[in-house]
Amino acid sequence: MSTDSTLLAVRWAQVRGRVDDACRAAGRDPAAVSILPVSKTFDAGVIRAATTLGLRRFGENKVQEIRDKSPLLADCDIRWVLIGHLQTNKAKEVARLVDEVQSLDRLELAEVLHRRLQQEGRAIDVLVQVKTSSEESKFGLPPAQLPALLDALRHFDTLRVRGLMTLATQSTDAAVVRGCFRRLRELRDEALAQGHALPRLSMGMSGDFALAIAEGATEVRIGSAIFGGRAAPQSA
């Protein structure tokens, strides 16, 4: 194993350990929280090394990166998960390359994705990204619009709606960050009462996953804590 692979193995084990600790601190079963490794900005070689640790699902925030990396990793049985803002003009590539979209945030996008997926003869899992922060720049569906979108999504049999996703406000105030995660869980509970089964809550990143786990995350999206720092800050 190269030094890089060794470092990756160490970091992966550390992150899994910290996630397990956060679960126990919250009185939750560690088996109930999975980790989505976020490989954005890291090249195919790094992802290949990660597959030797048994990792198969990788989160990316740009379709372009999936398009560039996937041919180099065609032998690795990877499931690509899109976690970044998606423009409708990329739907065709998403339908071809992506196994799951966590950033579905509007009906228009669902309509276009559905049409493209029908053409490909595929169905994918999706999470609805909800805006739980007060920041203007963040993407995501306004919470008030969630019931209507969930009802509309029932008509698209290529989109299997499995849960909700959010990004918390970037804040050093843990109460503010935790409030975003709590809001997502409450929205999930309200949707459940309206007959929508949404078992998955994707929330929490390298810097805030313990708070997300305390509020019921079923998966945390971890980039830098596994792969190291990125050269430039990435927009979500």
Ligand X SMILES: *Cc1c(COP(=O)(O)O)cnc(C)c1O
Q: Where on the chain is the footprint of ligand X (CB under 6 A)?
A: 38, 40, 61, 83-84, 167, 205-207, 221-225, 234, 236
Neighbour-count burial of 108, counting CB atoms closer than 10 A to its CB (0-12 exposed, 13-18 middle, 19+ buried): exposed
- Is the CB of residue 39 less than 8 Å from the CB of residue 84? no
The first and second tokens of residue 185, run together, are: 């869980």
- What's the number of CA atoms in the CB half-sphere (13 Å) around residue 227? 27
For the CB of residue 223, give the shortest distance to ligand X in the complex, in Å: 3
Neighbour-count burial of 17, counting CB atoms closer than 10 A to its CB (0-12 exposed, 13-18 middle, 19+ buried): exposed
- Is the CB of residue 209 less than 8 Å from the CB of residue 157? no
For the CB of residue 75, give the shortest distance to ligand X in the complex, in Å: 26
Closer CB to ligand X, residue 67 or residue 115?
67
Q: Which residue is nearest to ligand X (CB)?
A: 223
Closer CB to ligand X, residue 122 or residue 230?
230
Closer CB to ligand X, residue 6 or residue 234?
234
Closer CB to ligand X, residue 6 or residue 235?
235
- Residue appearing with tokens 């909800």: 130
For the CB of residue 160, give the shortest distance to ligand X in the complex, in Å: 20
For the CB of residue 186, give the shortest distance to ligand X in the complex, in Å: 21
